Chain A
Amino acid sequence: KQEVTQIPAALSVPEGENLVLNCSFTDSAIYNLQWFRQDPGKGLTSLLLIQSSQREQTSGRLNASLDKSSGRSTLYIAASQPGDSATYLCAVPYSGGGADGLTFGKGTHLIIQP
């Protein structure tokens, strides 16, 4: 059964800092990994999708890397801003069974202090 772990669970830093959020998964037989952002009481916004053949993806100040062999992904946020405050979730497709949903980590709750 796939398990996804995110570290740290919470993070509070002053704005302007560069951040690294970590995600690990137990079953490396994934075909992609996706990072999402969730604001309080809201749905999910897709940030980056990394295919298994890729090692990283970049979008603006965000950069996500994927190391399948070690079961890890990182989300790098450059020059953080208060508007980046949210919960960041990583997710991988189900492994095994007939479902095609996603397995999520519990997220990293990020607060950027102005």
Chain B
Amino acid sequence: GAVVSQHPSWVICKSGTSVKIECRSLDFQATTMFWYRQFPKQSLMLMATSNEGSKATYEQGVEKDKFLINHASLTLSTLTVTSAHPEDSSFYICSLKREKGRLFGPGTRLTVL
């Protein structure tokens, strides 16, 4: 069955730097991928919908210039957190939609010092 991978699984960076997170769909071509964020002891919140070959759709309150999304192929979507700050520290998870429900990646733990 289809598998979703993320890289890196965790990253620690200094405040002000940019971090890129990759989400890959293995054995499944995904025209749409979703990016979620999960703060400690909170549930997942949808940040944006990534569309292959077009601009991403961002949820209210999510800054598109801060969280850059690129979906250049049917198997890869990237989320770049620009000028990261400590409040951006979170667990970022990507997901894709299939007929049999949603698949989620293993997540990326971002810690901004």
Contacts and interface: CB of A to CB of B under 8 A. Distances in A.
Contacts of B49: 99-101
A104 B43 CA distance: 6
Interface in A38-52: 41-46, 49
Interface in B64-113: 91, 93, 95, 97, 100-107, 109
Contacts of B97: 100
Interface string B19-56: 00000000000001010100000111110010000000
Contacts of A104: 43-45
Interface of B is mostly: strand
Contact of B36 (A32, A49, A101): A101
A107 B46 CA distance: 16
B12 to A, nearest CB: 15
Contacts of B93: 43-44
A94 interface: yes
Interface residues of B, number: 26
B33 to A, nearest CB: 10
A36 B38 CA distance: 15
Contacts of A114: none
B57 interface: yes
A77 interface: no
Contacts of B6: 43
Contacts of B104: 36, 43-46
Contacts of A44: 44, 93, 95, 104
A89 B109 contact: no
B43 A107 contact: yes
Given A49-B101, A106-B43, A100 B106 contact: no
